[in-house]
Structure 1
Amino acid sequence: MNELKPNTTTNTTTMEIRLNGQTVSCESDENLLGIAKRAGIEIPHLCYQEGMAAAGNCRACMVEIKGERTLAPSCCRYATPGMEVITDSPRASHARKMVLELLLSDAAPATPDQHSERNELIIQANQIGLNGSRFAARPESQKNFARDQSHPAIHVNLDACILCTRCVRACREVQVNDVIGLAFRGSDSKIVFDMDDALGASTCVACGECVQACPTGALLPASAKAQQLPDKKVDSLCPYCGVGCQLTYHIKDQQIIAVEGRDGPANHARLCVKGRYGFDYAHHPQRLTVPLIRRSDAPKRADLEIDPANIMQVFREASWEEALNFAAGKLVTLRDQHGKRSLAGFGSAKGSNEEAYLFQKLVRVGFGSNNVDHCTRLCHASSVAALLEGLGSGGVSNPVMDVALAEVIIVIGANPGVNHPVGASWIKNAIKQGSKLIVCDPRRSGLARQAHRFLQFTPDTDVALLNAMMHVIIEEDLIDHAFIEQRTSGFEAIRQNVLSYTPELMAPLCGIDAGTIREVARLYASARTAMIFWGMGVSQHIHGTDNVRCLIALALMTGQIGRPGTGLHPLRGQNNVQGASDAGLIPMMFPDYQRVADPANITKFEQAWQLAPGTLDTQPGLTVVEIMHAIVQDEPQGKIRGMYIMGENPAMSDPDVNQARASLAALEHLVVQDIFLTETACFADVILPASAFPEKTGSFTNTDRTIQLGRQAIEPPGAARQDLWIIQQIAARMGLAWNYPQVSDVFEEMRHTMPDIAGISWQRLERDGAVTYPCLHEEDAGEAVVFTSHFPTKDGRARFVAAGLIPANEKPDANYPMVLITGRQLEHWHTGSMTRRTAVLDTLEPDPVALIHADDLLALQIAPGDIITLTSRRGEVSLYARADNSSPRGSVFVPFCYYEAAINKLTNSALDPYGKIPEFKYCAVKIVAGGEIPKQTSFGGGQAMESKENRHQT
């Protein structure tokens, strides 16, 4: 019936129709169901769901249209001028009643205790006064729908299925995962997963979109708690990646029992497996609930590993007063004895904007230096360095949703399907609408299946490939002359630089044939609109800044920036890494990227913070890896002696973590503020129990530069406290007279020191829920697309910066013949401290794995599921081998979330000279069969649901 929808490529027109005798104004692209709902008229419907294409197959929404012989499904019919619609005619009412009776006869609720409040079929039947059915159900012998409980997150009961196909459309059209289908014919028709596999054995990624779409409970959460009705619902945000999905927590007995997506600007009710099922970490029994101080008979060692079950052998409980006095008092002593630069702080990208702002203020004012950093140094520091240098701004130019307007989409060095699944769904939707996707990556990501062209280039050759593309664009005069002349500088240097980078010369180096390089360059340059997305596969190299310089140059020379559907978008990894950077958790910038070395900025912040002139340090601070090196350096001047770490886990996330752990153990005083005994907390002198994401209210900034409110849903456990309260208590004991009774008081100060958010008040966030910056005044709507007329540089122009070939710091050789690439898994996030304490996520991926090409496994005489040992020049880890041909031959991919196989023991701490980011994405390793995986402690980790050999096969 979708052929009755008007042509959506044309502009809509306003018209009037008659609805139940009343004149109603509507648009030409509105269906009758929506028009009726807007007029306060409820029409029963089951197969229709807003946001999906109408199917019209349940026939529960039939209406009568004057002059037409047959009834019409209101979800599929669109208004035409003068149309007269009757929704409550006897004919239409009788037809709808019979349809619902037939469905009721054959579709019982999913379980005997299934709440009718959630079963839309029962709800719709009750609304029209239908309490039963005249018709007999099919005999049980004809159904043959066994319950499927093979999946840890989703249970299947097809006896409750009414074949509305909402789950099919949710999977195929919304999330574009293509797992669910409708098979067989007639009375044998049923929903299937892949080739009629059990759900747990299928390729389902557990996004839960099908469960959220199912109207009857044929697909429902596996958790019995999640099937209960909540006491209350609280609107908040997802605590994981940078997409910034809005969600609603379902609370019962002060516990989160379920999560559903809501209509936020970045997700429009979509969620991924982490957002939907990764919430119960907040209730894990290992939550820190009381302050802890290290026992005097428990010295720190670099190889220290504490089982949380035996935590009291190393730490003792303390009151808040004692713990805070000890934490702050020792920091003050070290500062006074060894100077202001002897202290450092790591803030958190998991925390709110307000927490990040107060933390960096504490370090700058209380510690007295700029030695403050966070995880952006380990993910997109090189991206920010290149963007600030070239464009004058470190933020994204266009939101992810702009892919809907892009003719060509380049995704390079990123795996959005794993790291930003909801963002990836918008890319897949754009492809279905005709956009052409180009995926460039050494590894074959899931998006490569939908790509117009997949360029699997040799690891470490990004610049060779990108310079060759620029060579083609310039050689064939595909550049935007007007844009270059009017809005950029430095183009001639780029022209000269890429003269020698012909596709024919670069093809053997990057592994992509010259013809493909030329085709892709032409496609990008000739598109009316084109966007570039990248991730840490671009940034985490010693030439990461050069990689991004090339991407910027591609956009500038073709004019593919400053318009909807164009631009540059570095996909942010953590939920608030953008906001934490904006708020000043970086050593060379005050909030809003105002350089600490600029005297005008020093004066501005001393006045804003009511400090005496000369109080603030004018020297940029040390970065994450530099701080770790400074802890163990022999030179007393500049030696770091004390640290305050809030919500970061450098004992897992830093490169060469053996060295990082040695540094943490060498600190004279370490204060850790966290919700679990992380690997980093094992080295603490005092541990302060903090609040988890659902236990706090604050603002968070997603990858689109959109600031959104996260709202407190539950209380912290035991004596755990709000992070903002803890920071202020430390500040008070360091002599700072702060007074921020409410979170909004912190935000109010922020917007008066950060020009880009000056127009965003707390009241506006509470009212609107989300505002995109830059937003310069309160009447400003905010700018989703920036650089439309000028760039925020001194002359208003963007700057081309040329890049040459710089090889990786460490190349494979005879002793270490393979390349190690690290990253994330779909089911786990960052260092795993949250997701590995989540039942569903840990059940889906409980084991540390190395993904290796099947041919490499064969050559090494290793079977999938075998234990192997990876060794680099810095360390070794043992883990399970998994056959996975997404990794090219000669390389191995390992997630960095498994404490029992901490892969960053192997990675190289060599730094990009500009962004000071480590080279996580490339180091030399060797693989040998055998080894022993350390026994799983209660840090996390579940039990595999099947044999290791089966689990890790392709």
Structure 2
Amino acid sequence: MFGAGGGTSSYREIEETDLIILWGSNARETHTIFFHHVLKGVRDGARLFVVDPRRTGSAEWADGWLGLNVGTDIPLANAVAREIIHAGLVNEAFVGRATTGFAELAAAVEPWTPEAAERETGVPAAAIRELAHAYARAERAQLCWTLGITEHHNATDNVRALINLALLTGHVGRYGSGLNPLRGQNNVQGGGDMGAIPDRLPGFQDILDPAVRARFGAAYGREIQPRHGMHLTQMLEAMDRRELTTAYCVGENPAQSEADSGRTVKRLGDLDHLVVQDIFLTRTARLADVVLPASAAWCESEGTVTNSERRVQRVRKALDPPGEARDDIAIISDLARRLGHDWGAPSAEEIWDEVRSLAPIFAGMSYRRLEELQGVQWPCFTEDRLEPPYLHGRLWAADPERRGAPAPFGIPRHRLPVDVLDEEFPLRLTTGRRLDSYNTGVQSGGLAFPARREEAIELSPEDAERLGLAPGDLARVSSRRASVTAPVAVDPALRPGLAFMTPHFPDRVDTNSLTIEATDPIAGTAEYKATAIRVERLSGDGPAGNER
């Protein structure tokens, strides 16, 4: 909708805004550094609203918590948009100058009165009106989201619905106002920046653009083909059809991180050849024909990382890699040489300078400048100036030529979760992260450190009482795909009908074996947040574990 894949604001702006919305984000536990900036903003007078099915630790700091039913983000956002329109709070000058499709959006959200949204989302109509008026009337406002919005089968529409709110109110393209997808791991933003996206070259340049392909082709001495590659979900589907029979996996653990993980393990096991390059012998690596031990640990490599505010920062080597582990650059360069392409032995800085020469948004970021300024936000086009810390200021320009292409409103369509609730599977399982652990557990437990605790199935007090379960009881958790056994925990932050687990301890409790591989047709993201389950008490005190 804006032509760039990055958060629009700097962290400092979070501290100096008037209103912050965390939508589908428990930043208190999952983006702790970012949440420090949120708390500074709250301390200085910013209002905080949290939209989340659970009353999370983040919600404890909020002026308002909107506890919606899982999978109803679009009705809620559409109701907020409708209220902004009907209350006369639209920034008409901005909408008329910088956007397209307002009439179509207004017609699409018209059925979503706050009362209609309350029936669908469970959020009181008064709370919907309060959020709409607070957001629209704020001088500066930040709207932030993460996996609670994107891990759905309609993820792209969820994001469009949130962007619509910023476009209606003009809360983008100005200091203190913005839209911020918070990145879940170190350098996720940097991966996209460097072209690890099937339709983009480094710097988010469209691979279908002839001028872009010509520039990269001249540098590489190769014609760049005008076609999109496959994202991970498409790769897995191609494995089913035997159209993809070889995979090279670098720094990723899909055998544990993908939805319906049992199916993913089978796909990987059926490949003719699997290569894994990683710092640990992950579950995926144990399936591989060849394992390339890498030194990608933060203190063993030179390079850069990019965080959620688009800040590129230097990484410096402090230790030599252990054993036979090698730097990723050395591994890939050696592989290229054996395939007939001698790249020499490029340093991380030489590779970065090549990126700068091909991607204009990084052109002004020399290593020297990154060192002197302790990181620089993109875009940075020249070495003699810095751009504003926020993106899309062009949308406010009076000159139409400077303003460029307008931002289109999206027309998101509400679709309920694919994994429906019924008498056999009456509970909704949503998954997420906890503060003291990390993703598939490789870096924060098991292989790296002794795990601090094992996984549990968290239930509301009402559901635990109804099922005859007490904290510490062992239960079988079943979906339409698999069953696992896990101890019970009771969490008053959960409403009746909602359960919570993490993927942090898959060797003990493989949470992702339960989740459904229903994916967004554009982004390919699976619906980790909306699994239908049942929970049954097991007799005795047997160990937690995975079943099939």
TM-score (norm 2): 0.95
| CA–CA separation in structure 2 for the residues paired with 1:794 and 1:629 | 41
Is 1:428–2:39 an aligned residue pair? yes
Kept after mapping to 2: 8 A contact 1:771/1:782: no
Q: How many residues align?
A: 538
| Candidates 404, 411, 416, aligned match of 1:802 | 411
Is 1:499–2:110 an aligned residue pair? yes
| Candidates 305, 309, 317, aligned match of 1:704 | 309
| CA–CA separation in structure 1 for the residues paired with 2:432 and 2:39 | 22
| Higher relative contact order, chain-length normalized (CA < 8 Å, sep 6+) | 2
Cα distance, 1:718 vs structure 2: 1.4
Please provide the CA RMSD for this pair. 1.8
| Candidates 522, 526, 548, aligned match of 1:918 | 526
| CA–CA separation in structure 2 for the residues paired with 1:783 and 1:659 | 46
Matches within 5 A, 1:141-540: 390-540=1-151
The amino acid across from 1:753 in the alignment is L
Kept after mapping to 2: 8 A contact 1:740/1:746: no
The amino acid across from 1:460 in the alignment is G
Residue matched to 1:814:
423
Is 1:644–2:248 an aligned residue pair? yes
Is 1:887–2:494 an aligned residue pair? yes
The amino acid across from 1:677 in the alignment is L
Task: Please state whether the residue corresponding to 1:626 is helix, strand or coil.
Answer: helix
My pick for the range that moved more, 661-670 or 426-435, is: 426-435
Which string of whole-angstrom CA distances, capped at 9 and with x for unpartnered residues, describes residues 155-174 of structure 1?
A: xxxxxxxxxxxxxxxxxxxx
Kept after mapping to 2: 8 A contact 1:392/1:793: no
| CA–CA separation in structure 1 for the residues paired with 2:545 and 2:90 | 58
Cα distance, 1:737 vs structure 2: 2.0
Is 1:855–2:470 an aligned residue pair? no
Which string of whole-angstrom CA distances, capped at 9 and with x for unpartnered residues, describes residues 574-593 of structure 1?
A: 10000100101111111112
| CA–CA separation in structure 2 for the residues paired with 1:517 and 1:758 | 44
Which string of whole-angstrom CA distances, capped at 9 and with x for unpartnered residues, describes residues 121-168 of structure 1?
A: xxxxxxxxxxxxxxxxxxxxxxxxxxxxxxxxxxxxxxxxxxxxxxxx
Q: Which residues of structure 1 form unaligned runs of 5+?
A: 1-389, 937-954
| CA–CA separation in structure 1 for the residues paired with 2:19 and 2:395 | 24
The amino acid across from 2:465 in the alignment is L
Is 1:653–2:261 an aligned residue pair? no
| CA–CA separation in structure 2 for the residues paired with 1:735 and 1:622 | 25
Residue matched to 2:277:
673
Task: Please state whether the residue corresponding to 2:165 is helix, strand or coil.
Answer: helix
Is 1:543–2:154 an aligned residue pair? yes
| CA–CA separation in structure 2 for the residues paired with 1:585 and 1:930 | 45
Matches within 5 A, 1:522-921: 522-611=133-222, 613=223, 616-633=224-241, 639-691=243-295, 692-790=297-395, 795-837=404-446, 842=450, 845-899=452-506, 900-921=508-529
| CA–CA separation in structure 1 for the residues paired with 2:275 and 2:154 | 34
| CA–CA separation in structure 1 for the residues paired with 2:387 and 2:336 | 34
Task: Please state whether the residue corresponding to 1:747 is helix, strand or coil.
Answer: helix
Cα distance, 1:837 vs structure 2: 4.6
Cα distance, 1:935 vs structure 2: 7.3
The amino acid across from 2:340 in the alignment is G
| CA–CA separation in structure 2 for the residues paired with 1:923 and 1:758 | 45
| CA–CA separation in structure 2 for the residues paired with 1:740 and 1:704 | 32
The amino acid across from 1:914 in the alignment is I
Cα distance, 1:842 vs structure 2: 4.3
Kept after mapping to 1: 8 A contact 2:456/2:488: yes
Kept after mapping to 2: 8 A contact 1:901/1:933: no
Task: Please state whether the residue corresponding to 1:901 is helix, strand or coil.
Answer: coil
Cα distance, 1:758 vs structure 2: 0.7
Task: Please state whether the residue corresponding to 2:95 is helix, strand or coil.
Answer: helix
Residue matched to 1:43:
none
The amino acid across from 1:572 in the alignment is R
Cα distance, 1:500 vs structure 2: 1.3
Q: Which residues of structure 2 form unaligned runs of 5+?
A: none
| CA–CA separation in structure 2 for the residues paired with 1:555 and 1:842 | 44
Kept after mapping to 2: 8 A contact 1:632/1:666: no
Alpha-carbon distance change, 935 to 823 in structure 1, aligned in 2, over 3 angstroms: closer
The amino acid across from 1:671 in the alignment is V
| CA–CA separation in structure 2 for the residues paired with 1:766 and 1:435 | 33
Kept after mapping to 1: 8 A contact 2:459/2:490: yes
Which string of whole-angstrom CA distances, capped at 9 and with x for unpartnered residues, describes residues 766-788 of structure 1?
A: 33321111000111224311111
Alpha-carbon distance change, 552 to 586 in structure 1, aligned in 2, over 3 angstroms: same
Task: Please state whether the residue corresponding to 1:790 is helix, strand or coil.
Answer: helix
Task: Please state whether the residue corresponding to 2:380 is helix, strand or coil.
Answer: coil
Which has the greater radius of gyration?
1
Which string of whole-angstrom CA distances, capped at 9 and with x for unpartnered residues, describes residues 816-850 of structure 1?
A: 111111111111112111110588x745x321112
Task: Please state whether the residue corresponding to 1:410 is helix, strand or coil.
Answer: strand
The amino acid across from 1:909 in the alignment is E
The amino acid across from 2:516 in the alignment is N
Task: Please state whether the residue corresponding to 2:429 is helix, strand or coil.
Answer: strand
Cα distance, 1:934 vs structure 2: 5.9
Which string of whole-angstrom CA distances, capped at 9 and with x for unpartnered residues, describes residues 676-726 of structure 1?
A: 110001110011111122111110000000000111111111121111111
The amino acid across from 2:78 in the alignment is N
| CA–CA separation in structure 2 for the residues paired with 1:620 and 1:926 | 40
| Candidates 529, 536, 541, aligned match of 1:928 | 536
Cα distance, 1:653 vs structure 2: 0.5
Kept after mapping to 2: 8 A contact 1:625/1:654: no
The amino acid across from 2:286 in the alignment is C
Cα distance, 1:740 vs structure 2: 4.1
Alpha-carbon distance change, 405 to 475 in structure 1, aligned in 2, over 3 angstroms: same
Cα distance, 1:883 vs structure 2: 1.0
| CA–CA separation in structure 2 for the residues paired with 1:718 and 1:702 | 30
Which string of whole-angstrom CA distances, capped at 9 and with x for unpartnered residues, describes residues 195-250 of structure 1?
A: xxxxxxxxxxxxxxxxxxxxxxxxxxxxxxxxxxxxxxxxxxxxxxxxxxxxxxxx
Residue matched to 1:87:
none
The amino acid across from 2:277 in the alignment is Q
The amino acid across from 2:264 in the alignment is A
Cα distance, 1:609 vs structure 2: 1.1
Residue matched to 1:157:
none
Which string of whole-angstrom CA distances, capped at 9 and with x for unpartnered residues, describes residues 245-299 of structure 1?
A: xxxxxxxxxxxxxxxxxxxxxxxxxxxxxxxxxxxxxxxxxxxxxxxxxxxxxxx
Task: Please state whether the residue corresponding to 2:437 is helix, strand or coil.
Answer: coil
Kept after mapping to 2: 8 A contact 1:773/1:783: no
